Amino acid sequence: MDHALQREFLDHSADKLRQYTGRIETCLGMLKPEQVWARGGDNENAVGNLVLHLCGNVRQWIVSGVGGRPDIRERDREFSARGGISSAELIERLRATVEEAAAVIHAVTAARMADKLVIQGYSVSVMEAIYHVVEHFSMHTGQIIFATKLLTGTDLGFYAHLRSAAAHGEKTP
């Protein structure tokens, strides 16, 4: 893989984490406090739990795994929380974590992309770790969007620009 392509991968990865964070912020801004922590059953996660989980995953895989900082994750606590953290605090934690991760991603050199790491018991390259995090973040962002639509009955408008006749020829990012 050439240097320009590696840089494109790294920049795009950080950009996608920021984009998904913005979408989660929109969702949290629309939900009442009780909706942020609503669960349909014991085997379901509330939106608040998913945000805590994303913070833990990004920190463990990127900040710690790729960035070399201490791994302080307490994964079970991400899912056992039942409230007590406001939407504003969840947003702040997520933003701070993603910005820290983006700085780590931007600092990755082309030479490090194939370096092997062991994260959460998995042997992965730096590139695989970054790809895992973006994919994982995307999946849970989709869950948060779906939950927000169910809880509010609202179209979030993320693709409203595609409703115009001119947009039918445009590509969706």
Q: Over the stretch 148-169, which tens digit does the pLDDT of each residue have?
A: 999 999 999 998 888 776 656 6
Question: DSSP letter string over 88-99?
Answer: HHHHHHHHHHHH
Q: Over the stretch 5-36, which tens digit does the pLDDT of each residue have?
A: 999 999 999 999 999 999 999 999 999 999 99
Residue 17 and residue 137 in contact, taking contact as beta carbons nearer than 8 Å: yes
Task: Label the pairing between strands 122-125 and 116-119.
Answer: antiparallel
Flag whether pLDDT at 102 surpasses 60: yes
pTM recorded for the entire structure: 0.92
Radius of gyration of the chain (CA): 17
Q: Over the stretch 129-146, which tens digit does the pLDDT of each residue have?
A: 999 999 999 999 999 999
Mean pLDDT for 78-82 is 94
